[in-house]
Amino acid sequence: MQIRDLPYPDPGIPDARSGPRFLLWLGRSQLGGQIKAVCWGLLHFTGIAGLSVGAGLAVQAVIDRSGGRLAFAGGFIALCGAAIAIGDTMLHRTAVTNWITAAARVQQLLARKTAQLGAALTRRVAAGEVVAVSTGDVEKIGWFVEALSRFLAAVIAIVLICVGLLLYLPELGTLVAVGVPVLAVAVLPLLPRAAQRADVQREKAGKATELASDTVAGLRVLRGIGGEELFLGRYRAASQEVRKAAVRSARMWSLISAIQVLLPGIMLISVIWYGARLVLDGRIEVGGLVTVYSAVTLLLFPLRHFEEIAMAYSFSRPSAKRAARVLSLERTAFEDERGGLDDARPTGDLYDPATGLRAPSGLLTAVVCGDPDAAGRLAERLGGHAADEEKSASVLLGGVALDDLPLDAARASVLVQDKDPVLLSGTLTELLDIPASGAVDPEKALAAAQCGDVLDALIQASVDGSGDPMRSRITERGRSLSGGQRQRLALARSLVTDPEVLVLDEPTSAVDSHTEARIAQSVKELRAGRTTVVFASSPLLLDHADRVVFIHEGQVSAVGLHRELVRDDPGYRAVVTRETETTAGQKQIMTPASARAREEIEESA
């Protein structure tokens, strides 16, 4: 895989049982790139080792006054230099390619998992953690994949150099062969503590990122209540905690680096001292001492990769653990023995066995629920997004369980718009350019959602001077718009898709009553012949529904028209009119005339 071939046609099925298993799977998935990097690394390190041989030959040739051997040594050194240049260049190229392709693979896996889970993702994993995984953690995982091939090449090169020195000069080669493994493992006792401090740093950094993300998302509210300084102080304290943890982690890594400088220096001094004694005794030649000295000096370079791989693994292991935790999340499903149905999309009534809610095909059904949280969970379950803790039977569409459908078919059949829909940055054209049936064009959807003032605002905010609201840019999450404007644009986007079943959770909670009434009428007309389920408690919207279902304590309590339920069902009336216990008591002592007047007011609402 080359960078120009990204993205992957299929990033594969990851082993997300643990962080190390995920890293191992990632390395196996890029085995070809790793082998290439190891080969180029061996060429690079072989060229470095050859320099010591060439230096020894040159020194000995000068001592023996042999011009031919000196010329041979010069040519050999030039050949080693070429091998170093080519090997280093290609090693860097392949290693960086491995890093980028590994990061791209992880990002594709995360994007696919996000698309599969949808709104359920942020209920099961904090938004700040998702951001940390898709940004910083991806980079650290890619770093380990990149460093692994260089480390393997360094290990093979060190083994070959030690064996070569043993065969060339056993007296000094034995000292080197014993000393190099000691240098390689000398820092191992310090790595667990260094990894622990690095984990603390990343944990604090993740919390700070999550705090910053939540602060930015709620900036409008914070300004309204004067809480900017409070949250700024919290983030400042969190960032200082991150700084302190980073300093403690850096101290440990600096100690490891100091040890890896001190111990090789001691070994180098020992080799020079012992080698000089051997030369004075006439047991080895000066050229041999120069060769061994140069080899030990150059061995320090591949030894540095031991520190790098230790750092890369300690940083990437918790990152891989977080990525594996996200990738291991699965869509709640109750698959039967058939393994799912074909891609045919069912039609018919939408029925929830858990609550008894039925939304007849082709009608606008309004659902009233006294608990907003329960309403949100029910809306998600109607779309097949049931939470993990819910073990109830699957919602049925036309008698077919949504959990038995392929994921794409289920998502295309039932669309759920939650209370806080997200608007992605881009132009209005891009926002509405989504998979759809084609039966509803954007103009009709915008008109039904009463987005006239939104279009005017986008024209005024246009920077290209075209005057075309469809080309005006919408900022991230639509923060340049008001809550009602964002809500109506999201409604227009949902109407454009024209799904078989559209579930709307409080779609008009942020708009005024006059606009709400027009939206209710327009949506009913535009969705004629399609099934629409609206979770609401506004009388203006409920009055336009073909059918109203009242959910009390998790079960269907009453079904009928809004005016009938307001008159006949006290529980429904209490939710819709916001009656308190006090007003309910007062109503019991009303005169018949005043009671009739109250009912007329409620019916007109």
Residues 436-477 have pLDDT tens digits of 888 888 899 999 999 988 888 887 766 555 677 888 888 776
User: Which candidate, 417, 414, 426, 480, places its Cα nearest to that of 449?
Assistant: 417
Percent of the chain with pLDDT over 90: 17
**39 pLDDT band (50/70/90 cuts)?**
very high
3-state secondary structure of 282: coil
Work out the burial of residue 604: count CB atoms within 10 Å of its CB; fewer than 13 is exposed, 13-18 middle, 19 or more buried: exposed
Distance CA 605, CA 120 (A): 36
For helices 67-117 and 286-327, give the axis angle rounded to 10 degrees. 10
Convert the pLDDT of each residue in 57-76 to its tens digit.
888 888 888 888 889 989 98
Helices (H) and strands (E) in the chain, counts: 23, 12
CB 295 within 8 A of CB 176: yes
pTM above 0.75, yes or no: no
Q: Report the chain's mean pLDDT, rounded to a whole number.
A: 80
Distance CA 141, CA 149 (A): 14
User: Which candidate, 155, 165, 410, 406, places its Cα nearest to that of 305?
Assistant: 155
Partners of 535 in the β-ladder: 367, 505
504 pLDDT higher than 80: yes
Helix (H) or strand (E) holding 427: strand 426-427
Q: What number is the average pLDDT over the span 408-424?
A: 82
Residue 465: what pLDDT?
Answer: 57
Q: What are the φ and ψ backbone dihedral angles of 362, each rounded to 5 degrees?
A: 85, 0
598 pLDDT higher than 70: no
For helices 286-327 and 31-64, give the axis angle rounded to 10 degrees. 170
Percent of the chain with pLDDT over 70: 85
User: Which candidate, 562, 537, 531, places its Cα nearest to that of 382?
Assistant: 531
Distance CA 529, CA 533 (A): 13
